[in-house]
Amino acid sequence: MSAENEIVPNVRIFAVETEGPAVRVDIYGGDDALCGSVGYQFPNARQRARNVTTLRRWCESETVLTLVRRQGVVTLLDESGVLDELLRD
């Protein structure tokens, strides 16, 4: 894996804060005891509301996530949720 790409399993969300189109997600966990924040910009209010709802649900349920950083873009994934969805269909 290159220095630009990173996968960190077993992270959780501590808090989600919004200010206009900016969304800050505080995360912790992983094998190396990661602690930090990820910032997103969602100019579209409808898209922002959907994403914030998902992020807060993951926070409240303490969902274990995978953080993927590729070319400076950070994505949080609920891998087991995706797998459950695929198996239901």
Overall average pLDDT of the 5-28 stretch: 96
In which domain, by residue range, is 40 found? Answer: 5-88
Q: How many residues does the chain have?
A: 89
Other beta carbons within 10 angstroms of residue 81's beta carbon come to 14
Read off the pLDDT of residues 33-44 as tens digits, 9 standing for 90 and up: 899 999 999 999
Is-contact 22 6, C-beta < 8 A? Answer: no
Instruction: Work out the mean pLDDT of the chain and round it to a whole number.
Output: 90
Report how many domains make up the chain: 1
**DSSP per-residue letters across 21-41:** TEEEEEEEETTTTEEEEEEEE
The confidence band for 89, taking pLDDT boundaries of 50, 70 and 90, is low
Read off the pLDDT of residues 57-67 as tens digits, 9 standing for 90 and up: 999 999 999 99
Closest CA to 68 of 3, 26, 9: 9
Query: CATH number, domain at 22?
Result: 2.40.50
